[in-house]
C-alpha cells in the first residue's frame, strides 16, 4: 500500500504516506468497532444467561414468562436463552405452569445433576468437608479433628485434602465434574496473589493458604471468611432469605458476622468487614485472644463463657472444642439450679444484646440472625433476654424495625455457604462456555444411559 515509486517526490511520498496512515487508522477503528460490537453481544448474552440462571437458582422452577418478567428481558430473548440452556443440559423441564385458560407454558429449573461443588469449613480444632450437587443436596461428608492445641496451616491443609479425596470417592463422582471448591476459614481473607489469611486470634499472620492448598488440589478454589460463608448460606437458604438488609452472626470459639446489604455480602475496603467480635464493649476490659482488651469475643465467645463460669465456681476445666460444646450445653441445662451458670448466662445475654444493639445502630438491618453452634445454643435458651438487652441499648427507630431470630441452618452451614461460592461464580458467568459444552453433554449422556 505504501508508495514505492523511485521518482516520487518528497511531497508526494508524504501525501501517499498520509493517505495510507489515514486508511490504516480508519481500518483499525472499524475493526475495533466490530470487536466492541462482538464484545457487547457476548456480554449481553452472558448477562441474559446469568440473569435467567440466578432467578431459577434462587426461586426454583419458573416459566419463560416469569423469567422475562423478573429479569426485564423480552420473551423472545428468554426463549432463546432457555433453549440454549436446555440444549446444554444446564436446565431441565419439570412440568407446566398453572393455566388461566390459555396454553400453559413449561416450567424449567436448574439441573441439580449438571455438576457438583465442595464446601469446606475450617474450624479452630475441627474440619468439615461436604460434596453437594447443584441443588445443594449433600451427597458426601467428612469430619475430622486435629490433635494440635493451635490451628496449624499445614495440618489444616492435610485435613482438607484428605476430606476432599474422601467425599469425591464416597459420592462416586469424577473430579472433572466438580465446578469448584469453596473454603471457609477463621480469619480475614486478603484476595491478593491467591487468598492470604490473617487469623490474628489463631496465630495466622498473612498465611498464603490458597498457595499451600493448591500444591495438592488442582480444582478451582475460592477461599473466604467462615462468618461470611455462613451469612451467604442463611441469605440464600435460611433465616435471612428474602431480606434486603441483614446481619448473620457466627458464635463459636470466635465471633464474627456476615453483613448483607441490599442482598449483597458487604466486604469493605480489604474484605475485613464483619469482625464484630473485635469491637470494644468494655474499655481496658478482659484480654482477648487477638491481643486487645475488652473485645466482644472476650465476653460472648465460648471459651470466655466457660472461663467466666470456672472463675465463679472455682472449677478449672481443659479447653478443647469438644469440652467447650459439652460445657456450654451443661451450663444452659443447669441454669435453673446452678446460680453461677445463671449469672454467667445472664451476663452473656446482656453483652450479646449490647453487641446486637451496636449492629442495629450502625447498619440498621431488618434482621439479625444468631447462628453458629454457640449461637444456636444461646438463642434457644436466652433469646428473650437477648432481645430485651438489645432493646435497652439500641436507638428506638432502628430497633423498631429489627427482628432478632435464631439461625435456621444446621451445623454444616459454614460448609454449605462455602459451597455456594463456586456456585455463585458459575451462575454469574452464565454457566458453561462453548468449549465446555460438548464435554458437559457427553457427561450428561453417560449419566442418562
| 87 has pLDDT over 70 | yes
Residue 443 inside a domain? The answer is yes
Residues 69 and 159 in one domain: no
Residue 299 inside a domain? The answer is yes
Residues 160 and 289 in one domain: no
Residues 221 and 243 in one domain: no
Q: Which cell numbers hold the place of 112?
A: 441439580
The CATH number of the domain where 363 resides is what? Answer: 3.30.420.40
Predicted pLDDT of residue 192: 80
Residues 307 and 226 in one domain: no
The whole-model pTM stands at 0.84
Residues 271 and 394 in one domain: yes
Residue 147 inside a domain? The answer is yes
Predicted pLDDT of residue 12: 42
| Enclosing domain of residue 309 | 239-406
Residue 426 inside a domain? The answer is no
- Of the listed ranges 206-220, 369-383, 403-417, 432-446, the one predicted with least confidence: 432-446
For 295-350, write each residue's pLDDT tens digit. 999 999 999 999 999 999 887 665 555 588 889 999 999 999 999 999 999 999 99
Residue of 62, 39, 113, 52 lying closest to 427 (CA atoms): 52
Q: Measured between alpha carbons, how far is 398 from 359 in angstroms, rounded to an integer?
A: 10
Residues 152 and 280 in one domain: no
For 28-49, write each residue's pLDDT tens digit. 566 555 455 545 767 888 999 9
Percent of the chain past pLDDT 90, that is, above it, reads 74
Residues 350 and 268 in one domain: yes
CB neighbours of 162 closer than 8 A, spacing ≥ 6? 142, 144
CA dihedral 331, 336, 338, 340 (to 10 degrees): 70
What is the pLDDT of the chain when averaged over all its residues?
87
Residue 414 inside a domain? The answer is no
The structural domain count of the chain equals 3
- Of the listed ranges 41-50, 181-190, 201-210, the one predicted with least confidence: 41-50
Size of the chain, expressed as the number of residues it contains? 449
Residue 418 inside a domain? The answer is no
pLDDT tier, 98 (very low <50, low <70, confident <90, very high otherwise): confident
Predicted pLDDT of residue 167: 98
E strands, 151-272, where?
A: 178-185, 188-192, 194-199, 204-207, 221-225, 246-251, 255-261, 264-266
> Radius of gyration (Cα) for the chain, nearest Å?
28
Residues 141 and 82 in one domain: no
CB neighbours of 7 closer than 8 A, spacing ≥ 6? none
pLDDT tier, 444 (very low <50, low <70, confident <90, very high otherwise): very low
Residue 424 inside a domain? The answer is no
Mean pLDDT for 274-289 is 96
Residues 402 and 266 in one domain: yes
The CATH number of the domain where 17 resides is what? Answer: 1.10.10
pLDDT tier, 370 (very low <50, low <70, confident <90, very high otherwise): very high
Q: Which cell numbers hold the place of 75?
A: 420473551
Predicted pLDDT of residue 445: 42
Residues 214 and 320 in one domain: no
Residue 442 inside a domain? The answer is yes
For 380-426, write each residue's pLDDT tens digit. 999 999 999 999 999 999 999 999 999 999 889 999 999 999 999 99
Residues 77 and 203 in one domain: no
Residues 314 and 196 in one domain: no
Biggest alpha carbon distance in the chain? 112
| 27 has pLDDT over 60 | no
| 440 has pLDDT over 80 | no
* 81, 110, 139 - which closes a domain: 110
For 135-179, write each residue's pLDDT tens digit. 999 999 999 998 888 899 999 999 999 999 999 999 999 999 999
Amino acid at each position: 500500500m505504501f508508495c514505492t515509486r523511485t521518482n516520487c517526490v518528497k511531497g508526494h511520498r508524504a501525501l501517499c504516506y498520509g493517505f495510507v496512515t489515514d486508511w490504516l487508522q480508519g481500518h483499525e477503528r472499524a475493526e475495533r468497532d466490530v470487536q466492541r460490537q462482538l464484545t457487547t453481544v457476548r456480554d449481553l448474552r452472558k448477562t441474559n444467561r446469568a440473569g435467567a440462571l440466578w432467578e431459577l437458582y434462587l426461586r426454583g422452577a419458573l416459566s419463560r414468562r416469569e423469567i422475562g418478567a423478573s429479569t426485564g428481558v423480552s420473551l423472545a430473548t428468554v426463549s432463546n436463552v432457555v433453549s440454549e440452556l436446555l440444549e446444554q443440559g444446564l436446565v431441565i423441564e419439570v412440568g407446566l405452569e398453572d393455566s388461566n385458560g390459555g396454553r400453559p407454558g413449561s416450567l424449567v429449573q436448574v439441573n441439580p445433576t449438571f455438576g457438583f461443588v465442595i464446601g469446606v469449613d475450617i474450624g479452630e480444632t475441627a474440619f468439615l468437608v461436604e460434596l453437594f450437587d447443584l441443588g445443594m443436596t449433600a451427597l458426601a461428608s467428612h469430619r475430622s479433628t486435629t490433635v494440635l492445641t493451635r490451628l496449624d496451616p499445614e495440618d489444616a491443609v492435610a485435613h482438607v485434602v484428605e476430606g476432599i479425596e474422601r467425599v469425591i470417592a464416597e459420592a462416586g463422582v469424577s473430579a472433572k465434574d466438580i465446578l469448584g471448591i469453596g473454603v471457609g476459614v477463621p480469619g480475614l481473607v486478603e484476595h491478593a496473589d491467591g487468598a492470604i489469611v490473617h487469623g490474628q486470634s489463631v496465630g495466622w499472620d498473612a498465611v498464603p493458604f490458597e498457595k499451600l492448598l493448591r500444591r495438592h488440589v488442582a480444582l478451582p478454589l475460592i477461599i473466604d471468611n467462615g462468618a461470611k460463608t455462613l451469612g451467604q448460606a442463611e441469605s440464600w437458604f435460611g433465616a435471612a432469605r428474602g431480606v434486603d438488609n441483614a446481619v448473620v452472626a457466627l458464635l463459636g470459639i470466635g465471633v464474627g458476622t456476615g453483613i448483607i446489604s441490599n442482598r449483597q455480602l458487604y466486604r469493605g475496603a480489604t474484605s475485613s468487614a464483619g469482625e464484630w467480635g473485635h469491637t470494644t464493649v468494655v474499655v481496658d476490659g478482659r484480654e482477648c485472644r487477638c491481643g486487645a482488651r475488652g473485645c466482644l469475643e472476650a465476653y460472648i465467645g465460648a471459651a470466655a463463657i466457660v472461663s467466666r463460669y470456672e472463675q465463679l465456681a472455682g472449677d478449672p476445666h481443659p479447653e478443647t472444642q469438644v469440652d467447650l460444646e459439652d460445657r456450654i450445653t451443661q451450663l444452659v441445662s443447669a441454669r435453673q439450679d446452678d446460680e453461677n451458670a445463671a449469672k454467667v448466662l445472664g451476663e452473656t445475654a446482656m453483652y450479646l444484646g449490647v453487641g446486637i444493639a451496636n449492629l442495629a445502630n450502625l447498619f440498621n438491618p431488618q434482621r439479625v440472625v444468631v447462628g453458629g453452634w454457640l449461637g444456636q445454643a444461646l438463642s434457644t435458651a436466652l433469646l428473650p433476654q437477648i432481645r430485651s438487652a438489645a432493646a435497652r441499648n439500641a436507638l428506638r427507630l432502628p430497633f423498631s424495625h429489627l427482628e432478632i431470630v435464631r439461625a435456621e441452618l444446621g451445623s454444616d452451614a459454614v460448609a454449605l455457604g462455602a459451597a455456594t461460592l463456586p456456585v455463585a461464580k458459575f451462575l454469574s458467568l452464565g454457566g458453561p462456555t462453548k468449549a465446555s459444552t460438548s464435554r458437559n453433554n457427553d457427561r450428561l449422556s453417560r449419566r442418562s444411559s
